[in-house]
Structure 1
Amino acid sequence: MSEEPTTSPQNFSPAWAGAEGRTDPPLVGDEREVLLAYLEFHRETFALKCAGVPVERLSELLVPPSGLSLHGLLRHLTGVEQWWLQIQFAGDESVPLLYYSDDDPDQDFERLDGDFEQALATWRAQVATSRRIVAAAPSLDATGIHKATGQPVSLRRILVHLLAEYARHNGHADLLRERADGTTGY
């Protein structure tokens, strides 16, 4: 079985994805190194899914009857990063929730007002915040407070959850990207 290419497609735009290609996770490493490498791989994959898509197609609902768009997925993943790492793990509730309110809980997918490039910059900034939080954690056993239960939640559990979120939504992004311009892979 051949491995996926680590280089980007012809229409790749570094302005969108931020880096040329993506880094394959290591074949050997400790638990933290492997978990973080896979999370970065999935983050980079999502950025590649959005790279080069005509801006007018990023907010389109391309796979009816689904309400998903690349723009909506980007906003959702931004909120996921904030909720799990900044709020629940680090306990930082100093900034308002991104793309969510009790009155409008689905605004990440449904209210696609605003510029995709601004949403991309917000995602990149939130990912940078997430990276700083994880880097400062002494171990994968460090805990935050799970808001739904009030119970401790470990960094390990949060990282596995983030991996699952990105993997699931990268699958959605595959379909959306193929519908947007026919690009498949990576």
Structure 2
Amino acid sequence: MTDAKDDLRVYLQDARDVLLWKLEGLSEYDVRRPLTPTGTNLLGLVKHLTGAEALYLGAAFGRPFAGTPLWFTGDAAPDSDLWARADESREDIVSGYRRAWAHADDTIAVLSLDAVGRVPGAPREITLHRVLTHMIAETHRHAGHADIVRELIDGTVGLRPDGVHVAPYDPGHAGRVEEAAKEAAARCS
């Protein structure tokens, strides 16, 4: 029999690892540059999730993380958690994320899944189980964003550097998808 809390933590850790792997081997410019019209960038995703872990798996359970980012206290510009300033180093942002997740893992370890907390500013109490479910979804969502951004940078895809869970690259695939889209659009017009 497996431990439900440990299963949830493993799924969260898998997404954390994927997110950081997406930074490997890239230049400072590539980890910071916006690749969508809304500015999505790899280092900004890491910075954002650092704050989310500090908030949801720290402050919400009366376990503040020493280094909770300013964007959660209202002392920062809007969306400042979604990009890295030139004076913020990749190493500091990544190490801050690792520290936040270690703090979050301590919270997970010491509390039961039915422990109740309250996200600052939220109207109702929530359980650790619900928060963990939320953080898994949030982190996997942003790992998916990172996957797309990394593919736009250099074509690298997948959950891990070994390419597991990814079909072999087929240069004709995108063309087939485009043709199917055009054909479907023509049928509907």
**Structure 1 length-normalised TM:** 0.76
**Structure 2 length-normalised TM:** 0.75
More helix by share: 2
- 1:109 is matched with which residue? 82
Query: What is the rounded CA distance, in whole Å, between the counterparts of 1:93 and 1:134 in structure 2?
Result: 14
- 2:166 is matched with which residue? none
1:75/1:108 contact within 8 Å kept = yes
2:58/2:65 contact within 8 Å kept = no
Q: Does 1:88 align with 2:66?
A: no
Q: What letter corresponds to residue 140 of structure 2 in structure 1?
A: A
Aligned pairs for 1:33-112 (under 5 A) are: 33-62=6-35, 64-89=36-61, 91-93=62-64, 95=66, 97-100=68-71, 101-102=73-74, 103-112=76-85
Q: CA deviation at 1:48?
A: 1.3
- 1:153 is matched with which residue? 126
- 1:141 is matched with which residue? 114
Q: Deviations over 1:17-70 (max 9, x none)?
A: xxxxxxxxxxx62321211111111111111112222222110012x3131100
Q: CA deviation at 1:148?
A: 2.9
1:59/1:70 contact within 8 Å kept = yes
1:76/1:99 contact within 8 Å kept = no
Q: CA deviation at 1:120?
A: 0.5
- 1:9 is matched with which residue? none
Q: Deviations over 1:77-108 (max 9, x none)?
A: 1000001011112x134746315142523101
Q: What letter corresponds to residue 86 of structure 1 in structure 2?
A: G
Query: What is the rounded CA distance, in whole Å, between the counterparts of 2:100 and 2:67 in structure 1?
Result: 13
- Cα-Cα RMSD: 1.8
Query: What is the rounded CA distance, in whole Å, between the counterparts of 1:40 and 1:110 in structure 2?
Result: 22
Return 94-103 or 160-169, whichever deviates more. 94-103
1:71/1:116 contact within 8 Å kept = yes
Structure 1 outlier segments of 4+, above 3 Å: 92-97
Q: Unaligned 5+ residue runs, structure 2?
A: 160-189
1:142/1:155 contact within 8 Å kept = yes
Query: What is the rounded CA distance, in whole Å, between the counterparts of 2:130 and 2:106 in structure 1?
Result: 18
- Give aligned-pair identity as a percent: 33
Q: Could you say which structure has the larger radius of gyration?
A: 2
Query: What is the rounded CA distance, in whole Å, between the counterparts of 2:32 and 2:84 in structure 1?
Result: 10
Alpha-carbon distance change, 181 to 77 in structure 1, aligned in 2, over 3 angstroms: same
Q: CA deviation at 1:146?
A: 2.9
Query: What is the rounded CA distance, in whole Å, between the counterparts of 2:37 and 2:51 in structure 1?
Result: 23
* SS of residue paired to 1:158: helix
- 1:121 is matched with which residue? 95
Return 49-58 or 170-179, whichever deviates more. 49-58
Alpha-carbon distance change, 96 to 121 in structure 1, aligned in 2, over 3 angstroms: closer
